[in-house]
Amino acid sequence: MRTATGGTGTTNTTNADGIVILCRNCRTGAHPAWFSIGSSQRAFLGISAMLFAASAALTIVWCAPMSAMGGMPMPGGWTMSMVWMRMPGQTWSGAAASFLGMWVVMMVAMMLPSLVPMLSRYRDAVRRAGVRGEETADPRLGRLTAIVAVAYFCVWTAFGIAAFPLGVAMAALVMRQPALARAVPVAVGVVALIAGAIQFSAWKTRHLVCCRETPEPCRRLPADAVTAWRHGLRLGLHCSYCCAGLTAILLVIGVMDLRMMAVVASAITVERLAPCGALVARAIGAVVVGTGLFLIARAAGLG
């Protein structure tokens, strides 16, 4: 079906699914579909802001008491985070569930600022999947966006599932071996050096480009749940690979430290959104390398 309004010269088409297709020459006019697209985008940004605020508040509520508790003093002058230990009367399954819940909420707070632009690009690509690639006011877009976000955070959940038993095993090992415990401060410095070096690698640059890429104007994505799920998994994998070094620093230095979370989240967001992402990533790498050298030198002084 095709209709036209002679007064404004606007034209719109309805496809087989009943989706209104807004033609190029009516984007300057007052068209209901165009307003619908704008309202949908405002709702998306508003929900994203509320999710960020809620997840950040929950992270603070969850982590602040544990940070106040401090950690277990260990040989070598460092403290072990209580996140790798059971609380009195707590089972290991309960401790794992508690860690995973905290991890997911923390990842939402840390990654959402850099995920929102990627979701916006996905929404633009889906809108272009209409007739002749014109932008559409598709009522399914909110549900598809949610599917992409859930798939994205499922990838980060899988990393949390892998991180907890590894952290528990390492904690148990250093508690039984004082010699290993004394070497931990140096090992943390080495991890920081490796993480900083990764920031300069072509591997890092490749995954960072995938997180920052802007689709061509003609690129379209099918508006179906399977494609949305796969797209979210792809974004999650690229993001987790891109952030591997910075996430490792968070895990070994202070997974429950709110200040460290803020620093790592800021670094991830800036390298994704800044105009020269690769240069920013290298600058962050230089800071991380310097931090690693300082940690090693301090550990050697303590020895």
Q: Per-residue pLDDT tens for 18-38?
A: 333 333 444 444 444 444 567
Q: Which two tokens stand for residue 288?
A: 């991380």
For range 122-140, the mean pLDDT: 64
For range 42-52, the mean pLDDT: 93
pTM: 0.80
- Closest to 208 measured CA to CA, from 287, 145, 114, 288: 114
Residue 49: predicted pLDDT: 95
Measure the CA–CA gap between 236 and 67, rounded to whole angstroms. 28
Residue 21: predicted pLDDT: 37
What is the overall mean pLDDT for the chain? 81
For range 61-71, the mean pLDDT: 74
Comparing 60 with 213, the larger pLDDT belongs to: 60
pLDDT at 127 exceeding the cut of 90:
no
> pLDDT tier at 137 (50, 70, 90 boundaries)?
low
Measure the CA–CA gap between 282 and 44, rounded to whole angstroms. 32
**Count of CB atoms situated within 10 Å of the CB of 195:** 23
pLDDT at 105 exceeding the cut of 70:
yes
> pLDDT tier at 291 (50, 70, 90 boundaries)?
very high
Comparing 41 with 10, the larger pLDDT belongs to: 41
Q: Per-residue pLDDT tens for 145-179?
A: 999 999 999 999 999 999 999 999 998 898 888 88
SS3 for the chain is: CEEEECCCCEEEEECCCCCEEECHHHCCCCCHHHHHHHHHHHHHHHHHHHHHHHHHHHHHHHHHHHHHHCEEEECCCEEEEHHHCCCCCCCHHHHHHHHHHHHHHHHHHHHHHHHHHHHHHHHHHHHCCCHHHCCECCCCHHHHHHHHHHHHHHHHHHHHHHHHHHHHHHHHHHHHCHHHHHHHHHHHHHHHHHHHHHCCCHHHHHHHHHHHCCCCCCCCCCCCHHHHHHHHHHHHHHHHHHCHHHHHHHHHHHCCCHHHHHHHHHHHHHHHHCCCHHHHHHHHHHHHHHHHHHHHHHHHHHC
Comparing 31 with 80, the larger pLDDT belongs to: 80
Residue 108: predicted pLDDT: 96
For range 196-203, the mean pLDDT: 94
Measure the CA–CA gap between 255 and 168, rounded to whole angstroms. 13
Residue 302: predicted pLDDT: 52
- 114-118-124 Cα angle (round to 5): 145
For range 195-218, the mean pLDDT: 81
pLDDT at 129 exceeding the cut of 70:
no
